[in-house]
């Protein structure tokens, strides 16, 4: 699936397919190592989501979000925040947020690698089934839980 670089979630990676800039601007990005065929990983999100920090080989580069919208990559699997999901089975990929939030989820046996079943996502309330227990996450909390679909 080909998506803009700006659509990646932290930890997600893909292969650069094309750059949709004017030639003079494209050269600047190629000099930074953004070359079609290279693998790129989204590694850090700034407080307001701009700029975005990516890793190519051993180098980290910062790109403005509006520039990342013009770079297209091929991803093998897509990662969603829990608030973007529909009904189905997902694996927890990453939990963002503070220590207390992560500890609270650990007490509910929710951690990276756990499998959850999303039952309903309606107006920002996500109802999930985890280990036989039903839990409801509000929009704010569900944005901090990144998942990948497995069924």
CA distance 110 to 93: 11
DSSP character at residue 122: E
Q: Is the pLDDT of residue 52 over 90?
A: yes
Structure confidence at residue 45 as a pLDDT band (50, 70, 90): confident
By residue count, the chain amounts to 151
Which two three-digit tokens encode residue 29? Answer: 């990005």
Residue 103 is predicted with a pLDDT of: 93
Q: Residue 145 burial by CB count (10 A; 0-12/13-18/19+): exposed, middle or buried? A: buried
CA distance 38 to 141: 34
Q: Is the pLDDT of residue 22 over 80?
A: yes
DSSP character at residue 78: -
Peptide bond into 30 cis (omega under 30): no
Cα-based angle 9, 13, 14 (whole degrees, multiple of 5): 125
Which two three-digit tokens encode residue 66? Answer: 């509006």
Query: Which of these, 34, 33, 30, lies nearest to 5 by C-alpha position?
Result: 34
pLDDT in tens, 62-84: 999 999 999 999 988 788 889 98
Is residue 138 within 8 Å of residue 121, measured between CB atoms?
no
Structure confidence at residue 46 as a pLDDT band (50, 70, 90): confident
Other Cβ atoms less than 10 A from the Cβ of 46: the count is 11
């Amino acid at each position: 699936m080909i998506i803009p670089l700006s659509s990646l979630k932290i930890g997600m990676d893909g292969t650069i397919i094309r750059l949709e800039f004017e030639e003079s601007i494209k050269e600047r990005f190629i000099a930074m190592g953004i070359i079609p065929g290279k693998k790129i990983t989204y590694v850090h999100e700034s407080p307001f989501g701009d700029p975005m920090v990516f890793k190519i080989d051993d180098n980290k580069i910062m790109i403005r979000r509006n520039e990342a919208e013009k770079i297209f990559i091929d991803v093998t699997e897509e990662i969603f925040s829990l608030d973007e999901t529909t009904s189905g089975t997902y694996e927890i990929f990453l939990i963002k947020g503070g220590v207390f939030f992560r500890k609270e989820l650990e007490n509910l046996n929710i951690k990276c690698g756990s499998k959850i079943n999303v039952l309903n996502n309606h107006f920002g309330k996500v109802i999930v089934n985890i280990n036989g227990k039903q839990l409801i996450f509000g929009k704010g909390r569900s944005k901090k839980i990144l998942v990948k679909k497995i069924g």
